[in-house]
Amino acid sequence: MKYTLLFFSLFFLLASAYGAAISDVAGIAQYMQIYQLNLPDNALFATEAVPYGINNSGNAIAGGISRIAYYLELGNGIQRQWIWVSMNAFSQDLTKIGLPTYASGAVWQITVSNMNIQTNVSGITTGSNINTGNIEFWPYNYGTGLGVSGIGGNSGTYDFNDTHSGSANYSSMQIHNYGAGQVLLAYNSWGADYNYDDVGIGNNTLSNVVTSYTNSDWTFSRNAANYTLKNLEVWVEPTIPLAVPEPATWLFLMIFLSFANILKRRTDLN
């Protein structure tokens, strides 16, 4: 019994250490985690390996995947913000859905469909089956010009529609709802720019020290060190549904844990 308790304690400890999405996101039981990364204050991923805490990209998923989800959690000891964005799978290659580094070979400047957005940040449009999404994933520098036609955007600021240069290494990992004119999550400047990285959930509204205008996608915010908690997770939904524990199984587990707790108390009393 002692070891069983130890096992469950360790399980919940690990679950809380890795994967806060587990506790925040509705419907996550259908998903498998592929990556977890504690974002550094100033990453140098143009040349250095990404130090994932979890990396299951080498494990093939039988039947492939139907959806890909990104979860970003930011905390400063006072407030905690989080967002979850899932979408129809735009790739079956699990090595190309994490940080789009040069080493990964991933570059995605595409629209995405069937987004599900959950967040605790007010002002962000939430909901399911949102078909006005786009992603800007690349390891390159980029300019403010419109890179994707037909989705709007501001050609004079860094926002949900920019153009990458195909070279250099400022870097961008951004997910947007262009229909709502909203940046959903952004992580930039993780290539080899020697300033603190940019990170944010929702549209940035603050000016920066580099441009005279405000960049809604957090470019040049250099704010990563403001957050002590910067947890990025990538999850996928397998095409073949996962076997989710039945309610009866959960009930059994709860009864078991209560019973174990009573036994433990009785042992403590002795």
Comparison of 57 and 182: residue with beta carbon closer to Ca ion: 182
Dist. CA 151–CA 200, nearest whole Å: 22
Dist. CA 158–CA 137, nearest whole Å: 14
Comparison of 42 and 214: residue with beta carbon closer to Ca ion: 42
Dist. CA 18–CA 45, nearest whole Å: 22
203-222 binders of Ca ion (CB under 5 A): 217
Taking each helix axis as running N to C, give the angle between helix 247-269 and helix 2-17, from 0 to 180 degrees, rounded to the nearest 10: 120
CB of 177 to Ca ion, least distance (A): 13
**Do residues 85 and 204 make contact, with C-beta atoms less than 8 angstroms apart?**
no
26 backbone φψ class: left, alpha, beta (φ>0; ψ -120 to 50) = beta
**Do residues 118 and 127 make contact, with C-beta atoms less than 8 angstroms apart?**
no
Comparison of 193 and 233: residue with beta carbon closer to Ca ion: 193
3-state secondary structure of 220: coil
CB of 144 to Ca ion, least distance (A): 4
CB of 108 to Ca ion, least distance (A): 12
Binding footprint of Ca ion, residue count (CB under 5 A): 11
198 binding Ca ion? (CB under 5 A) = no
Which of the ranges 8-16, 96-104, 151-159, 203-211 carries the binding residues for Ca ion, by CB under 5 A?
A: 151-159
CB of 173 to Ca ion, least distance (A): 10
CB of 132 to Ca ion, least distance (A): 16
Comparison of 73 and 162: residue with beta carbon closer to Ca ion: 162
**Do residues 185 and 84 make contact, with C-beta atoms less than 8 angstroms apart?**
no
Dist. CA 144–CA 166, nearest whole Å: 14
CB of 82 to Ca ion, least distance (A): 21
Tokens coding 157: 């600021």
193 binding Ca ion? (CB under 5 A) = yes
Which of the ranges 12-20, 36-44, 51-59, 241-249 carries the binding residues for Ca ion, by CB under 5 A?
A: 36-44
Among the listed residues 25, 84, 159, 203, the single contact to Ca ion using CB under 5 A: 159
Dist. CA 238–CA 88, nearest whole Å: 11
Dist. CA 176–CA 124, nearest whole Å: 11
Among the listed residues 162, 184, 231, 232, the single contact to Ca ion using CB under 5 A: 162
CB of 95 to Ca ion, least distance (A): 23
Comparison of 159 and 233: residue with beta carbon closer to Ca ion: 159
End-to-end Cα, the chain, rounded Å = 16
3-state secondary structure of 202: coil
237 binding Ca ion? (CB under 5 A) = no
Interacting residues with Ca ion (CB under 5 A): 42, 136, 144, 153, 159, 161-162, 189, 193, 197, 217
